[in-house]
Amino acid sequence: MSTSPAPAPASFPDAASDLLLPGPVGPIELACALPEPDVARAGTAVICHPHPLQGGTMHNKVVTILERALRELGLATVRFNFRGVGASAGTFDEGNGESDDLAAIVDWVRRVRPSDAVWLAGFSFGSYVALRNARRLDAAALVTVAPPVGRWDFDPIELPACPWLVVQGEEDEVVDPAAVFAWIETLKQPPHLVRMPETGHFFHRRLMDLRGLLKNALQPHLPPPA
């Protein structure tokens, strides 16, 4: 006897919560959180994690720092596991199925928080997924940390028209910083680039610096108070 999948939650949790959302190939595991009421803004950030086949999950330290910075700025936040990671159903799909997972979450956010601007953010592979979907999902702002230029094909991506921040460590041992900087120089409307000297891919010993610069760079683009 088959059972019907659980319906999508009808509202955004009123406290930090893990939950399952119906996705294109089965449940997607989410972690939702709200800002403190006195700083709350009319916005929700959806954050994408690094490569699923290389240990990437929504609990990655850079992802959690992204979440913390965005929440401290006043946004509600949603981290999630791509298909095949944690309790999320499915298998890795080279960024294609992962884009569908992201779209399902954004659709849910817009249903349960219809007044919010939706921001997208990501680290490494997650930044590639966020970037390739920012325009079609009409992101209000985009944050990409260590975008994997040279490891994934960025040429076909329709670039966003929204405010866009790129953070790149200058001593990244996974993503070639020179490739990132050269790619940005080719763009007609380049993002706001922040280069972090003496910083590797995983921001070891630089996570608090990352948190601070994110908050400083994104402050001018915040949605209005909730």
Which own/partner contact pairs does 84-87 have at CB distance under 8 Å and 24+ positions apart?
84/52, 85/29, 85/49, 85/52, 85/56, 85/57, 85/58, 86/29, 86/57, 86/58, 87/20, 87/27, 87/29
What pLDDT band is residue 174 in, cutting at 50, 70 and 90?
A: very high
Q: How far is Cα 122 from Cα 99, in angstroms, rounded to an integer?
A: 12
Q: How far is Cα 104 from Cα 58, in angstroms, rounded to an integer?
A: 16
17-218 CATH fold: Rossmann fold (3.40.50)
Residue with tokens 């509600």: 76
pLDDT at 199: 98
Q: Which tens digits make up the pLDDT trace of 62-117?
A: 999 999 999 999 999 999 999 999 999 999 999 999 999 999 999 999 999 999 99
User: How does the average pLDDT of the chain come out, rounded?
Assistant: 96
Each domain of the chain, given as residue ranges in start order, spans 17-218
Residue 1 pLDDT greater than 90, yes or no: no
Alpha helices in 28-140 (DSSP H): 61-72, 96-112, 125-134
Three-state secondary structure of 39-56: HCECEEEEEECCCHHHCC
pLDDT at 16: 97
pLDDT at 6: 76
Q: How far is Cα 192 from Cα 215, in angstroms, rounded to an integer?
A: 14
What pLDDT band is residue 169 in, cutting at 50, 70 and 90?
A: very high
Phi then psi for 200, rounded to 5 degrees?
A: -90, -175
Helix (H, G, I), strand (E, B), or coil: what is residue 120? strand
CB atoms within 10 A of CB 23: 26
Q: Which tens digits make up the pLDDT trace of 103-150?
A: 999 999 999 999 999 999 999 999 999 999 999 999 999 999 999 999
Q: And the tokens for 149?
A: 């230029």
Residue 4 pLDDT greater than 80, yes or no: no
Note the pTM of the prediction, 2 decimals: 0.97
Query: Percent of the chain beyond pLDDT 90?
Result: 96
Q: How far is Cα 152 from Cα 9, in angstroms, rounded to an integer?
A: 34
CB-CB contact of 47 with 15 (8 Å): no
Give the total residue count for the chain.
226
- For residues 23-44, give the mean pLDDT: 98
- Report the first-to-last Cα separation within the chain, whole angstroms: 46
Helix (H, G, I), strand (E, B), or coil: what is residue 95? coil
